[in-house]
């Protein structure tokens, strides 16, 4: 029954997807005499944790009960008090935990605290599922770098636009609606200046039921983004533009004068220092970046090892054209056996399009995912 109740906890943890950053997603279920007497999930950073919600619902029934929690209970003071203390005070008899918290401030200390109080602790129940649930948090808390997600849409013959540059629309309405759901769950959305100049996108999450907009990040080494661009004028979300030291000072000043934050980054032989950009974003607790750029920025981010996950939509249409762009530009690899590989791949049909979703092998954080979740 441990697996059954842990699946319940994993399920309710997902209710807050995209809302807890920079904290993890956590679900908790309290069981007594074969019945669920309390459940809860962490809803937003700075608010009570999942265990506290579950204990409140269980009340006196928590005494002598078993709690199933998807992540090790915290044992330190942050914006809220230690969950371990609350569990001990409530008289919990047994704690079944999916995975140890990779946060160095916790990292096993919570489990030790529970055991010291005489609470039976069982670890590793559905650990792989728990690690995948918190892939963003694990990458950020262990490396300080945001979890990079690359989304692209291409035709059956691998084109993201016609030879003229026309690209609307490669995929159907169902796939585009799905992308808005993805925008709703990640902290930041990133494109290059070429995308802004060609498409003048909003880069917002336009869901019928409402949603949250990610921070808009434009990689624009020469500050070419026009002051009339939607990302500057609509004021629906913060916009950050990364430029190089060579960017004209008057353009930088004009952007700042319109309420845009401008970051001046180092220039490398390959272009703007994107690792520096991601490091700064991570320090600001922007834990995930959703990339919707073109061939140039996609290639640069992949070359810099900043992409962890890929969403690739494939439309059942053929565009053709030797000069029509593919999703990833740059020089490419010399040999096919040098290609970037994906693992843990899933596929699904969305409307008339096919979505291929997978993780790039050998990226920062993957070893940690395996350790936390025993992914093999």
Edge-to-edge strands, sheet with 35-41: 35-41, 27-32, 66-69, 94-97, 120-123
Spatial contact of 168 and 345, defined as CB atoms under 8 Å apart: no
Nearest to 319 by CA among 150, 152, 169, 151: 169
**Ordered DSSP codes for 97-122:** ESS---STTTTTHHHHHHHHTT-EEE
Which candidate in 51, 72, 135, 292 is catalytic? 51
Question: Active-site residue 283, yes or no?
Answer: no
Angle at 127 between CA 361 and CA 129, to 5 degrees: 65
CB half-sphere exposure, 225, CA atoms < 13 A:
34
**CA 217 from centroid of its chain's CA atoms:** 15
CB half-sphere exposure, 98, CA atoms < 13 A:
30
Specify the DSSP class assigned to residue 74.
P
Specify the DSSP class assigned to residue 67.
E
Q: Which of the residues are catalytic?
A: 51
């Amino acid at each position: 029954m441990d697996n059954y109740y842990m699946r319940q906890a994993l399920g309710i943890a997902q209710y807050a997807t995209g809302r807890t950053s920079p904290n993890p997603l956590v679900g908790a279920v309290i069981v007594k005499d074969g019945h669920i007497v309390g459940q809860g999930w962490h809803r937003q950073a700075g608010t009570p944790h999942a265990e506290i919600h579950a204990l409140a619902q269980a009340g006196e029934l928590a005494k002598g009960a078993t709690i199933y929690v998807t992540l090790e209970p915290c044992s330190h003071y942050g914006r809220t008090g230690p969950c371990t203390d609350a569990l001990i005070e409530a008289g919990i008899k047994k704690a079944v935990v999916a995975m140890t918290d990779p946060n160095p401030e916790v990292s096993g200390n919570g489990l030790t605290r529970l055991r010291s109080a005489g609470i039976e602790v069982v670890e590793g129940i559905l650990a792989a599922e728990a690690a995948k649930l918190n892939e963003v948090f694990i990458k950020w808390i262990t490396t300080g770098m945001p979890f990079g997600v690359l989304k692209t849409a291409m035709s059956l013959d691998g084109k993201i636009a016609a030879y003229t540059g026309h690209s609307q629309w490669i995929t159907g309405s169902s796939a585009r609606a799905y992308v808005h759901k993805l925008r709703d769950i990640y902290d930041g959305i990133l494109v290059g200046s070429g995308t802004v100049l060609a498409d003048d996108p909003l880069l917002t999450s336009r869901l019928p039921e409402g949603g949250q907009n990610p921070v808009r990040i434009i990689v624009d080494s020469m500050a070419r983004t026009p002051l009339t661009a939607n990302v500057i004028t609509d004021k629906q979300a913060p916009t950050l533009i990364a430029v190089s030291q060579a960017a004209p000072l008057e353009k930088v000043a004009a952007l700042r004068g319109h309420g845009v934050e401008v970051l001046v980054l180092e220039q490398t032989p390959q272009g703007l220092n994107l690792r520096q950009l991601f490091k700064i974003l991570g320090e600001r607790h922007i834990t995930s970046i959703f990339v919707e750029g073109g061939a140039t920025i996609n290639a640069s981010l992949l070359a810099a090892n900043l992409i962890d996950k890929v969403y690739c939509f494939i439309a059942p249409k053929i565009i053709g054209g030797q000069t029509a762009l593919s999703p990833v530009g740059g020089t490419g690899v010399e040999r096919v056996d040098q290609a970037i590989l994906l693992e843990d791949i899933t596929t699904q049909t969305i409307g008339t399009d096919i979505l291929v979703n997978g993780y790039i092998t050998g990226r920062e954080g993957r070893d940690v995912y395996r350790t936390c979740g025993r992914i093999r």
